[in-house]
Amino acid sequence: MRSSRSSHAPVAVRRRRVASCLVTVLVALLLAACGGDEPPTPEGPSAPDTVRVGSADFPENRLLAEIYATGLSTRGVKVERRFGIGSRETYVPKLRDGTVDLVPDYTGNLLRYLDPTATATAPADVYAAIGRRLPPPLVLLAPSAAEDKDAVVVTRAFATANDVRSIADLTRFCPATTFGGPPEFATRPYGVPGLAATYGCTFREFRPLDSGGPLTVAALRAGTVQAADLFTTDPSIPGNDFVILEDPRSNFAAQQVVPLINSAKLADPAVADLLNRISQKLDTSTLADLNRRLDAPDKPDPAQVARDWLSSAGIG
């Protein structure tokens, strides 16, 4: 006969196993809820017959990406959208490894990303310089006439009170000025370092806000920043009667809108043909008008704005 202890041992073992399993499940659930320590599995390249269109994380660039994506779809090209990726420091590596295939970019800032010491500022010079520095497998297609440049912007009241019309005029006020803009403006060559090198302008403080968005506009209106980085086609500039300061020493280079694409997606000639047609039709006034449409009180769907423009341009 077995002892009473030995006859109950299997039950105790089973209880311990059940308890252990419950602990394991609870830990797994907690890790899932908190994100765990494991990074997410990276997304692989798109299918060979698909163009994955990405964008930076601000409205104009998303709209341009939507124009590219919608236009390609009308040509029978399979499209995937990956909008709102973030800054150039994030999306260029994705273009290089094929995680993203196509992004609308801006020539001057792309050149400075590729070569912080670049000095070209004229449109043709900037475009040619990018071609010499662009790493494979990236390709720059035809640039558009549309430009959207970074600009130093102040309120009308500030400009009038201080007789400031250009960045050169602002220089004497820089030590008392708080400047606002996207976080990356603090370190980019045309940003805070560029303004210091080109104009001798050293701000009292740089306040990281957003990229041409509501935080920057609100801070400028409230006076918590006295000057800010906004894009020249931003409808909030005329909407708030802000003043774009002239840039007589060309701190900000030409910024033509241009498709930046992974060369693997150019096997289908319809892709380059469609994107080049879009560039031919896109100029600065058109881009500013598209931004105004996006900023309308009824907040239209960007996809509809893109479809409407493509149709009006004879592309859609």
pLDDT by residue for the chain (316 residues), tens only, comes to: 333 333 344 444 344 444 444 444 343 443 344 443 334 445 799 999 999 999 999 899 999 999 999 999 999 999 999 999 999 999 999 999 999 999 999 999 999 999 989 999 999 999 999 999 999 999 999 999 999 999 999 999 999 999 999 999 999 999 999 999 999 999 988 999 999 999 999 999 999 999 878 999 999 999 999 999 999 999 999 999 999 999 999 999 999 999 999 999 999 999 999 999 999 999 999 999 999 999 888 889 999 999 999 999 999 7
pLDDT of residue 212: 77
Which CATH number is 150-244 given? 3.40.190.120
Question: Closest Cα partner for 264 from 140, 143, 139, 142?
Answer: 139
Residue carrying structure tokens 């010491």: 117
Answer yes or no: are the C-beta atoms of 90 and 103 closer than 8 Å. Answer: no
Q: Which helix (H) or strand (E) holds 2?
A: none
State the pairing for strand pair 243-244/150-154. antiparallel
Cα–Cα dist 276/29, whole Å:
50
pLDDT of residue 38: 36
Question: Closest Cα partner for 104 from 212, 294, 233, 255?
Answer: 255
Strand order of the β-sheet with 138-140 is 78-82, 50-54, 102-106, 257-262, 138-140
Cα–Cα dist 35/29, whole Å:
10
Answer yes or no: are the C-beta atoms of 69 and 53 closer than 8 Å. Answer: yes
219 Ramachandran zone, left/alpha/beta (phi>0; psi -120 to 50): alpha
Q: What is the CA radius of gyration of the chain?
A: 26
Contacts of 49 (CB under 8 A, 6+ apart): 78
pLDDT of residue 11: 41
Counting runs of H as helices and runs of E as strands, what totals does the chain give? 13, 10
- Which residues on adjacent β-strands are paired with residue 154? 243
Answer yes or no: are the C-beta atoms of 296 and 271 closer than 8 Å. Answer: no
Strand order of the β-sheet with 227-231 is 205-208, 178-181, 227-231, 150-154, 243-244
Task: Say what the pTM is.
Answer: 0.76
Answer yes or no: are the C-beta atoms of 227 and 153 closer than 8 Å. Answer: yes
Q: 50-147+255-312 domain in CATH 3.40.50.1000?
A: no
State the pairing for strand pair 150-154/102-106. unpaired
The single-letter code of the amino acid at 287 is: L
Domains 50-147+255-312 and 150-244 share a fold: yes
Domain boundaries, the chain: 50-147+255-312, 150-244
Answer yes or no: are the C-beta atoms of 215 and 193 closer than 8 Å. Answer: no
Cα–Cα dist 83/61, whole Å:
9
Cα–Cα dist 49/53, whole Å:
13
pLDDT of residue 42: 56
- Residue 169 half-sphere exposure toward CB, CA atoms < 13 A: 18
pLDDT of residue 239: 92
- As given in the structure block, the two tokens for residue 32 are 């899932």
Cα–Cα dist 201/213, whole Å:
24
SS3 266: helix
pLDDT of residue 29: 41
